[in-house]
Structure 1
Amino acid sequence: MQSGHFVRWAAVVGAVLLTGACAQATGVAGVSAQSPSTAPATSTPDTTPAVTATIPSPSPSQQAAEQPPKGDDPVKVPPPKLSKFTYAFPVKGCATTYQRSLLVLPKTTIWAAQGCSFVAPIDGVVDEVNIKNRWAPSTDKGADREGRFVTIIGDDGVRYLGGHLDSVAEGVRPGVRVKAGQVLGRVGRSGNARDTGSNLYFAISWKTAPAYWWVRRGMVEPWDYLDAWLSGNRTLSPRKETLAMRGRLGETPGCVVQCKPKKVPQASKKPRKPQTDEKDEKDDSPITANPSTTPFGQ
């Protein structure tokens, strides 16, 4: 009887001891009650210094191999042909500048050194030649302002004037056929350019009789054509614009600019001789002209 109680008591005590041991080992909900152990600190490993590699420079042959290949030379394409005519800039072999705006008349002043060549701007026929400098500041006649000059009628039907010439080339006379680029005279200071730098008075108009001198002095603005002939397209022609201008104004429009000469002061008892160039003292040749016989555009 006593031995049976003892066995049951021993069983209960054993169970209690077993339960306590399990609780100490795992803690609540299976989590250990002991603080987690901290991993021992380890010493910082030695740092190995970086090794800088020396990169060799590429050889000239390697550099050449890396350069992009050069392309072919550009193909020069000629400018479009705008007319069947070919023109030349009217001053040859000299540095030039010229105005590109309307001042008094639709003409331009091409500044160039004295003696530079005035050349035919197109194939054509010489129309008028004035080899005498008749201009005088006392009267300032419009017909004399250009001094020595040459006009040609181009194969395009347009008239071109080069004035303020120092001289007219030998053999240049009315009716003579000339080629574009052929020398017609030398740039100078005749006419009312006497007190300015040497220059070429250049004008574009249409053929008229010499009596209508104001027409030859310029009816069409020339600078766009000069720009093209000098550095752009040598086939740009003033023919169309000149025909249109003539159609609006008529073949012989009235004079509207610089038409009347100055009044000549009353002559004294001993009139003074007008100033003229030395070469004109010996040359009393009048203006020679080729009268207008062919309608413009034919």
Structure 2
Amino acid sequence: MPSSTIGRRVRPAYPILLLLAPVLAAGCATTRPGAPPDGVAPTPPAVWATGEQPAATPTVAAPTGSARPAPSSAGPSATAPRAGLRHVFPVRADNVAYHPTHGAYPATDIFADCGEPVVAVTDGTVLEVSRTDRYDKRGPQGPENGGLSVALLGDDGVRYYGSHLSGVATGVNAGVRVRAGQQLGKVGRTGNANNVCHLHFGISPPCAGRDGWWIRRGVLWPARYLDSWRRGGNREPAAEVTAWQRKHGCPKAP
């Protein structure tokens, strides 16, 4: 497929999307939009996850199960946020589509075939990893909705969250450094993905030790950043994230 069709944003021009809104509010997306036309952690150690790593740099072994950092009131990182970092589209695939909106709260569902690579949006440190799908539709809705997931604290000071994965890449564990474009996992349908292959993508501030799933899942609309990254641009969400946190702080669960 020509590169011009990769990651084509699907605009909600069809009435069916309006009918889906009540369903989306209850969970993640239940249908994939049409195909495009023409077809916080401790101070990070000096190690990188496997895959696209710099030469002569050691890697770490991947533990089994889930890795979740202990809450800390000291903040997620002692490193000052950096501007001008490279940002890339979070799914590396030819057949990708996404809605500019999302049910109930700001986020985006990026639809692609199960197994397509999910990559780091920018350089940063892995905050949390879930390698076990604990979602139960009969249980509380919210804490485990994401199924398999990875949360990344970018060096720009922004947290990027991807969930519903079918698998997490070897060596991607809490505290590990990753580069923009490095594979973190694979598109899947775990959690409350409703049997539809997609990546739930959220942007939020890292409220170390004072937040939870209700912030991690997303507080900003990502579409305009995704639009830029898909075209090879580098629109940065750090300023919007900072403004949001100044206004809202780290709110408790809704």
Common fold by TM > 0.5:
yes
CA displacement at 1:254 relative to structure 2: 2.2
Structure 1 residue 199 corresponds to structure 2 residue 198 = yes
1:241: which partner in 2? 240
- Which structure: larger Rg? 1
**C-alpha distance in 1 between matches for 2:146 and 2:218:** 11
Contact 2:145 2:192 in 1 (8 A): yes
**C-alpha distance in 1 between matches for 2:174 and 2:236:** 23
Show structure 2 runs of 5+ residues with no match.
Answer: 1-82
Q: Which letter maps to 1:245?
A: W
Contact 1:123 1:180 in 2 (8 A): yes
Contact 2:90 2:119 in 1 (8 A): yes
Q: Deviations over 1:144-173 (max 9, x none)?
A: 000010001001000000100001000000
2:184: which partner in 1? 184
- Name which of structure 1's ranges 110-119 and 139-148 shifts more when overlaid on structure 2: 139-148
**C-alpha distance in 2 between matches for 1:150 and 1:197:** 19
1:156: which partner in 2? 156
Contact 2:107 2:218 in 1 (8 A): yes
**C-alpha distance in 1 between matches for 2:183 and 2:232:** 22
CA displacement at 1:255 relative to structure 2: 2.3
Q: Which letter maps to 1:112?
A: A
**C-alpha distance in 2 between matches for 1:109 and 1:127:** 21
Question: Secondary structure at the residue paired with 2:192?
Answer: helix
The 1:180/1:210 distance shift into structure 2, 3 A limit, reads farther
Q: Which letter maps to 2:251?
A: P
Show structure 1 runs of 5+ residues with no match.
Answer: 1-82, 257-298
Contact 1:158 1:204 in 2 (8 A): yes
Q: Deviations over 1:97-128 (max 9, x none)?
A: 00102421100000000000000000000000
By relative contact order (CA 8 Å, sep 6+), the higher-ranking structure is 2
Q: Which letter maps to 2:88?
A: A
Question: Secondary structure at the residue paired with 1:163?
Answer: strand
CA displacement at 1:213 relative to structure 2: 1.9
The 1:105/1:243 distance shift into structure 2, 3 A limit, reads same
1:213: which partner in 2? 213
Question: Secondary structure at the residue paired with 1:87?
Answer: coil
Higher helix share: 1
**C-alpha distance in 1 between matches for 2:201 and 2:102:** 13
CA RMSD of aligned residues (A): 1.3
**C-alpha distance in 1 between matches for 2:183 and 2:145:** 22
Q: Deviations over 1:173-215 (max 9, x none)?
A: 011000000000011000001x331000000001123852211
**C-alpha distance in 2 between matches for 1:138 and 1:94:** 36
**C-alpha distance in 1 between matches for 2:211 and 2:141:** 13
**C-alpha distance in 2 between matches for 1:167 and 1:84:** 30
**C-alpha distance in 1 between matches for 2:190 and 2:228:** 28
**C-alpha distance in 2 between matches for 1:187 and 1:161:** 13
**C-alpha distance in 1 between matches for 2:229 and 2:237:** 11
Q: Which letter maps to 2:108?
A: T
1:88: which partner in 2? 88
